[in-house]
């Protein structure tokens, strides 16, 4: 059985208005991850990534750079429960 991992991550820096949510959704779907991504009113992006450990770790590493226009200053993951539903989606700003 493949070991699974779920993390709730906050991404800070210039991460809104640079297509970070769309990029995250595409990258997470490409990796076959479950979860969601949303902007937060404080200017950060928050995401839940769930799936095989190596794919989640790869996604976290990718978030440290993000899309071309982004300037990431920090990626802060913490353990989380897996999402209730399969697939990866964008959510409204919180």
Tell me if residue 34 is catalytic.
no
Q: Name the token pair of 62.
A: 């990718």
- Catalytic choice (14, 31, 39, 57): 39
**Strand residue runs (E) in the chain:** 4-14, 34-39, 45-52, 71-79, 88-90
- Catalytic choice (10, 14, 21, 38): 21
**Strand residue runs (E) in 15-65:** 34-39, 45-52
Q: Which residues are catalytic?
A: 21, 39
């Amino acid at each position: 059985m493949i070991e699974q991992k779920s993390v709730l991550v906050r991404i800070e820096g210039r991460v809104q208005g640079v297509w970070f949510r769309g990029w995250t959704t595409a990258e997470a779907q490409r990796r076959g991850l479950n979860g969601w991504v949303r902007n937060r009113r404080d200017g950060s992006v928050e995401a839940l990534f769930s799936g095989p450990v190596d794919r989640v770790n790869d996604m976290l590493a990718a978030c440290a750079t993000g899309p071309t226009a982004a300037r990431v200053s920090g990626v802060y993951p913490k353990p989380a429960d897996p999402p209730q539903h399969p697939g990866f989606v964008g959510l409204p700003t919180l």
